[in-house]
A and B are shown apart, each in its own frame.
Chain A
């Protein structure tokens, strides 16, 4: 194989790894937006807390990979529900801006709270023995394979839950119509809480995987990764679950390719320019449907 092709394949593999982490976080943004039409700006910080839970479980409890992952997901799911109950639920009837501001506040709170408890960046220990295979010059690490497969598994599971189970049907119903669905006996509050739990749990899983792939974690890591995941959700069409996955892989691929061929400081510039361009050209995203406003 030619060197250029090997390089491309190698970078595409890296892009798949980054994209799957973005996708797991983007799902939380898009699910919450689909149901509440609210941008949950604290979601990136839930992801960060996930990485710190992973650190706690791995270092202080000395747990291996699978229990760490499960514990982290449960922990962040509980955190997500708590945030929703305490901060967002009272504002459901308030102007939408109030909820956005509150979400920004919650995010800032999580960041600074973590900073107070963990002033220095932490190093997540290697939870998995990494072996590297080389196939025709392209090197795979077992870690990369696990991250990609596990994320894909979680996404397939989520897709199944949303499209094939009663809870998923309730979620779709609420995002379809908020006035009459409660009258049909759908427990709206519970479904919203479940949505937050699932979204936050996925963000927790993303935190663990991010921590394994890029082991230095700090309280502000959630900001940029969170925004990137949010861009993914918008690129795919916010509110659309499959769109979020596609958007995340596109963004991951673009970012990795920018870093591969240009100075790495252009990464954010390209990511946000892509976002800007897309919103102006196709505001409803790749898979989203245009909404018309009735007067």
Chain B
């Protein structure tokens, strides 16, 4: 028996008007927070990072989670998007006079990354598993070293002086778009194809799934949003260099995907949020501020022996967390499960129909 509260909650969650209302509230908040400084600048910055990481995680989950490949190239696509957009805002588009042109740069960054995604998709027709992982890795390294060798892009020194054009509403907008597009893709016919490739590529080929087209689309979508995230990232950080987009960045995104759980949009959102916020909370200043209510007798030694050293130790805690998650919680927070909102109504009904009595 469900309690009245629980069934009331379920009834509320099923209302069709709820999602648009929440979106409007979200947009309202995204506009209001920077406008009226509801939170300090640091919290606003962390919010933008959370949003960018959600885009990255959801899009990587499409290839690594739903399609079951192992791509290490995500930071490379991010770099393509970041450099394309930064070049446009710095050298081509007159964003100083017209900041409203910024979305064009972001879009261009995403499209350029998608183009590169198509290139990576081609070898994936024949090659799977470890060797595809190696190809994506090689792609990442090649992107990085090509950027390092082009002086026009700043070379190894990087590209300083990018305008801070990314705002909280824009991040929120792209988060919503990426989730919406990828969710609709997953539950479309192509999405079924993606899932069938994960389960058994040969069988799905035999069942007349056009695996090539599905892979093209999945890689293009995934890298498009990686490029968008890169473009947004560049215009928050205001400085990009090839070192920003190395294998460690990819590892971070992988941690978020697997922490949240593969094959789940809700998991990606949770994973990205938890990872980003946790990493920020473990900063010595933040962590110290959180515990500053403790009496000085306890706080002082704690501060001296523990909190002051967190700066490096938090970088140790994160990989350790990843290993522990893999060992004891291999499916992550939401592995293969989904928050009901992200499942279309027909699918929910199909799952909840009582089993037919034969």
Whether both chains belong to one complex is answered with yes
For the complex, give the distance between the alpha carbons of A76 and B207 in Å.
50
For the complex, give the distance between the alpha carbons of A96 and B319 in Å.
18
Contacts of A272 on B, CB cut-off 8 Å?
Answer: 138, 141-142, 145
CB distance from B257 to the nearest CB of A (A): 9
Per the 8 Å Cβ criterion, residues 110-127 of B in contact with A are 123, 126-127
Residue of B247, B255, B309 most packed against chain A (CB within 10 A): B247
Q: How many residues of A contact B (CB 8 A)?
A: 43
Please judge, given known A-B contacts A265-B156, A268-B141, whether A105 and B247 are in contact too, CB under 8 Å. Answer: no
Q: Which of B137, B203, B312, B323 contacts A105 (CB 8 A)?
A: B323
Q: Does A108 contact B (CB under 8 A)?
A: yes
Q: Does B326 contact A (CB under 8 A)?
A: yes
Across the two chains, which residue of chain A brings its CB closest to B144? A268
Per the 8 Å Cβ criterion, residues 97-132 of A in contact with B are 97-98, 100-102, 104-109, 112-113, 115-116, 119
Q: Which of A102, A115, A238, A276 contacts B327 (CB 8 A)?
A: A102
CB distance from A122 to the nearest CB of B (A): 16
Across the two chains, which residue of chain A brings its CB closest to B156? A265
Interface residues on B, range: 35 or more
Q: Does B202 contact A (CB under 8 A)?
A: yes
CB distance from A112 to the nearest CB of B (A): 4
Q: Does A142 contact B (CB under 8 A)?
A: no
Q: Does A227 contact B (CB under 8 A)?
A: yes
**B326 and A91 contact, CB distance less than 8 A:** yes
Contacts of B135 on A, CB cut-off 8 Å?
Answer: 276, 279-280
**B156 and A39 contact, CB distance less than 8 A:** no
Please judge, given known A-B contacts A97-B70, A98-B326, whether A105 and B138 are in contact too, CB under 8 Å. Answer: no
For the complex, give the distance between the alpha carbons of A260 and B316 in Å.
38
**B127 and A279 contact, CB distance less than 8 A:** yes
Across the two chains, which residue of chain B brings its CB closest to A294? B202
Contacts of A105 on B, CB cut-off 8 Å?
Answer: 255, 319-320, 322-323, 326
Across the two chains, which residue of chain A brings its CB closest to B129? A96
Please judge, given known A-B contacts A105-B322, A116-B312, A283-B131, whether A266 and B327 are in contact too, CB under 8 Å. Answer: no
**B251 and A108 contact, CB distance less than 8 A:** yes
Q: Does A56 contact B (CB under 8 A)?
A: no
Contacts of B126 on A, CB cut-off 8 Å?
Answer: 283
CB distance from A53 to the nearest CB of B (A): 19
For the complex, give the distance between the alpha carbons of A275 and B323 in Å.
29
**A234 and B315 contact, CB distance less than 8 A:** no
Please judge, given known A-B contacts A115-B312, A265-B156, A272-B145, whether A87 and B327 are in contact too, CB under 8 Å. Answer: yes
Please judge, given known A-B contacts A113-B316, A263-B149, A276-B135, whether A101 and B141 are in contact too, CB under 8 Å. Answer: no
**A102 and B326 contact, CB distance less than 8 A:** yes
Across the two chains, which residue of chain B brings its CB closest to A277? B138
Per the 8 Å Cβ criterion, residues 258-274 of A in contact with B are 263, 265-266, 268-269, 272-273
**A276 and B139 contact, CB distance less than 8 A:** yes
Residue of B64, B144, B316 most packed against chain A (CB within 10 A): B316
**B316 and A109 contact, CB distance less than 8 A:** yes
Contacts of B281 on A, CB cut-off 8 Å?
Answer: none
Residue of A96, A104, A116 most packed against chain B (CB within 10 A): A104
Q: Does A61 contact B (CB under 8 A)?
A: no
Please judge, given known A-B contacts A91-B327, A283-B131, whether A265 and B322 are in contact too, CB under 8 Å. Answer: no
Per the 8 Å Cβ criterion, residues 60-111 of A in contact with B are 87, 90-91, 94-98, 100-102, 104-109
Q: Does B23 contact A (CB under 8 A)?
A: no
Contacts of A107 on B, CB cut-off 8 Å?
Answer: 319
For the complex, give the distance between the alpha carbons of A39 and B146 in Å.
26
For the complex, give the distance between the alpha carbons of A37 and B127 in Å.
16
Q: Which of A39, A223, A273 contacts B133 (CB 8 A)?
A: A39
For the complex, give the distance between the alpha carbons of A272 and B131 in Å.
13
**B123 and A266 contact, CB distance less than 8 A:** no
Contacts of B139 on A, CB cut-off 8 Å?
Answer: 276
**A112 and B315 contact, CB distance less than 8 A:** yes
For the complex, give the distance between the alpha carbons of A96 and B128 in Å.
13
Per the 8 Å Cβ criterion, residues 222-245 of A in contact with B are 223, 227, 230, 234, 238
**B319 and A109 contact, CB distance less than 8 A:** yes
Please judge, given known A-B contacts A100-B70, A112-B315, A279-B131, whether A106 and B149 are in contact too, CB under 8 Å. Answer: no
Q: Which A-B residue pairs are the 10 nearest by beta carbons?
A: A108-B319, A105-B322, A109-B319, A269-B145, A112-B315, A116-B312, A105-B323, A272-B141, A268-B145, A105-B319
Interface residues of chain A, those whose CB is within 8 Å of chain B, are: 37, 39, 87, 90-91, 94-98, 100-102, 104-109, 112-113, 115-116, 119, 223, 227, 230, 234, 238, 263, 265-266, 268-269, 272-273, 275-276, 279-280, 283, 293, 295
Q: 22 pairs across A/B with beta carbons < 8 Å?
A: A37-B130, A39-B133, A96-B129, A98-B326, A104-B251, A105-B319, A105-B323, A107-B319, A109-B316, A109-B319, A116-B313, A234-B131, A263-B149, A265-B149, A266-B149, A268-B141, A272-B141, A272-B145, A273-B138, A279-B131, A280-B135, A293-B202
